[in-house]
A and B are shown apart, each in its own frame.
Chain A
């Protein structure tokens, strides 16, 4: 079907390709040279304005790690990064399938974006509080959270630390420095700045790292966060995961075309970095730089993680309705796991056989954990969550009217 053209002067941004088109992203420049300098972490914010427009990369497609942003991770760190990314992907795959089988109401994969979560978490201290959105499960896996508890949260069953109060993937793990995820997007950004202000007020050196997708940068909360972070020099990192798609809206709807999300920070006087989000070493390096700047009193950095959402927004979404089906395959920045794998093979730390073994091992481990999790209940059978828990944690102690309602609910059960 031919589209009716826009015959008005009102500009409505449209993505370059829709279903039926042959996607061609050769116009997106993939910098081959690694010329962006690594400034001192206490530089003036405006000294990073070029970093908001370029792209920090460490990993070349041939597996080489080059340039002054190369974090030179140890063998142990590289192995951990690869394993955690593979575990995240394996968990996502399993949970997606189980959602399709009716075991849970909903799920959201982070496929293609694992480097952002894993690289970011590895470069932070484990007590730095992250204020995530819904595609950063890799942070929990990197920090050693119980995958079974995460699965139980998604299953809303007796093992769910949240007692079934929240929909799947809206995790809360204070013990792992992982703030309760809100379904109202963007609200966590300014809260994280407040958290960081509290750290500074108490003269602690912990920082906050707040994370949003590019779509929710259009919320007022993003502006509040940048403004307050700038005003009070809050020790935090403000991350924009630009995965190109907010459900069905391409990134141009959130911002207009031809700009960068990192550059949003320039007008606020914040440091700004734009990083290849499919390059786990670059994500690590940018995060480490921003964390050091925050810890040293230099204030906040806006980091744009340039990546691509390979799968649908959620289990409720069908991306073939609004973008070419093969677009993920032609995205010019490759796959984060494949890129780290190539690097480790080049270093002689890894090979295809070990990779295949690890992939199978992750799949098996996830299946086994899932089996244990599902044994505690699921939507397709009984969740084993006591309905009366719905009255708990509304307030610290239930006020009179809520106690009355508990009695009314009790009477309903007879």
Chain B
């Protein structure tokens, strides 16, 4: 199988769908001739034509707005928002329009569009290039929100997103574009080149939503995570010498509550991780659902390890990031609780 990093896997998904379906269009700021600031669309314009992959004005509201109109008119637009931090001018078009069009028109019009956008920190992006706004989108009825943690899932989930008949927000953890990241910024960067999840099949395949991936099996505790935190979780569990049951959620909405409940009922301990700020973060939703589904199986309180409730700082990036020390602390808290 071809070996790809996450950028190449995303590009390959777009290439496969553009090749299969002339209704698939790709656009956003700098995505055309240049191929995107993270290179996810490099070569697509040359291969598929100017009219299939093109630059837009710096106008996130406009980008999402034309995507809604195109999708309603039968196309399958894939819009790129250069950083998730820039998505807010498009929020009205996502929350009030893309996500509501099917409902308010009772199925008369639909908006099968995909919005791709890089999320998360770890690249010294500071306040405006590091945010993880997933919970602002999982709160929206009518929208689906997915987030891969590796090249294989990135390609399969993106193809699934493009083929889905509902609007999908596709979040790309930018720190994972070039390799898995275990949360230690001082170690040399690891690439996807030799990683088994960098083995990405050529051609068409999908990864279904609402299906969590079992990263590690164990009986000591359950760790619920997604995106970059999947890799921090795996390393931290090894460091702590615990047999953790680690679930990479992949799709936040819809959510694979069955896999979560099966695991927590078995382990009786649940640690929830995310990079986003803590209060009203997606971890709050996960904690509530675990409590509702597994309360009588829980041996100790649910525990969250998250980013702090501050804007994402620049110089203090690694003090903000929920890295190994904070995750190991969370594991210790859970395991030492009686």
* Chain A residues with a Cβ under 8 A of chain B: 129, 131, 161-163, 165-166, 170, 172-174, 179-180, 182, 184, 187, 189-199, 201, 208, 220-221, 224-225, 227-228, 231, 392-396, 399-401
**B103–A194 CB distance below 8 A:** no
Q: Are A179 and B65 in contact (CB under 8 A)?
A: no
Question: Which of the four size classes fits the interface of chain B?
Answer: 35 or more
CA distance A227 to B59 in the complex (A): 9
- From A398, which residue of chain B is reached at the shortest CB distance? B254
Partner of B109, one of A163, A180, A227, A401: A180
**In the complex, A73 Cα to B61 Cα: how many Å?**
40
Determine the residue in chain B with the shortest Cβ distance to A390: B103
Q: Are B109 and A187 touching (Cβ within 8 A)?
A: no
Q: Which of A161, A172, A192, A227 lies in contact with B69, CB distance below 8 A?
A: A192
Whether B106 and A231, one on each chain, are in contact in the complex, defined by CB atoms closer than 8 angstroms, is no
Q: Residues of A contacting B56 with CB < 8 Å?
A: 228, 231
Contact B106 A393 (CB under 8 A): yes
- In whole angstroms, how far apart are the Cα atoms of A184 and B61 in the complex? 14
Q: Are B108 and A201 in contact (CB under 8 A)?
A: no
Which B residues are CB-close (under 8 A) to A224?
Answer: 59, 61-62, 65
Sorted from nearest, which 10 A-B pairs have the closest CB atoms? Answer: A194-B69, A190-B65, A194-B66, A224-B62, A399-B254, A180-B105, A172-B105, A191-B69, A195-B69, A198-B73
What are 12 of the A-B contact pairs (CB < 8 Å)?
Answer: A162-B105, A166-B104, A172-B106, A190-B93, A194-B66, A224-B59, A225-B65, A227-B57, A228-B66, A396-B166, A399-B210, A401-B254
Q: Which residues of B contact A (CB under 8 A)?
A: 25, 51, 56-57, 59, 61-62, 65-70, 72-75, 77, 89, 92-93, 96-97, 100-110, 141-142, 144, 164-166, 210, 253-255, 257-258
Chain B residue at smallest Cβ distance from A228: B62
How far does the alpha carbon of A396 sit from the alpha carbon of B71 in the complex, in Å? 14
**Contact: B73 with A199, CB < 8 Å?**
yes
> Considering residues A184, A193, A395, which has the most beta carbons from chain B within 10 angstroms of its beta carbon?
A395
Inter-chain pairs besides A194-B72, A195-B69, 13 sampled, C-beta below 8 Å: A131-B69, A180-B101, A182-B100, A190-B66, A190-B69, A193-B66, A194-B69, A194-B77, A195-B72, A201-B75, A228-B59, A231-B56, A395-B102
> Could you tell me if B73 and A394 are in contact, using CB atoms closer than 8 angstroms?
no
Report yes or no: A161 in contact with B108, Cβ–Cβ below 8 A.
yes
With A161-B106, A162-B106 already in contact, the answer to whether A190 and B61 are too (CB < 8 A) is yes
Interface centre among B57, B69, B97, B102 (most CB of A within 10 A): B69
| In the bound complex, CA of A399 to CA of B211 (Å) | 12
